[in-house]
Amino acid sequence: MADTYSGEFYCVKCKEKREAEGEVVVSESGRRMAKATCPVCGTKLNRILGKA
């Protein structure tokens, strides 16, 4: 079961904060990251949540 994160992400392409929902993954360095897609332009969004 994958965790989900719902909140604000910063879209680099739009240069604005967007509300989105994405799944939580653990990076190679051990940090938890949320990955989503921008609802406006479709760009991939990442947000670092902290260490797992």
Predicted model pTM: 0.81
At residue 50, the pLDDT reads: 81
Tell me which CATH code domain 4-51 carries. Answer: 2.20.25
Task: Report the pLDDT value the prediction gives residue 1, as an integer from 0 to 100.
Answer: 53
Ordered by start, the domain boundaries in the chain are 4-51
- DSSP string over 1-52: ---EEEEEEEETTTTEEEEEEEEEEE-TTSEEEEEEE-TTT--EEEEEEEE-
Q: Going residue by residue through the chain (52 aa), what tens digit of pLDDT does each one get?
A: 579 999 999 999 999 999 999 999 999 988 999 999 999 999 999 999 987 5
pLDDT at residue 21 in the model: 96
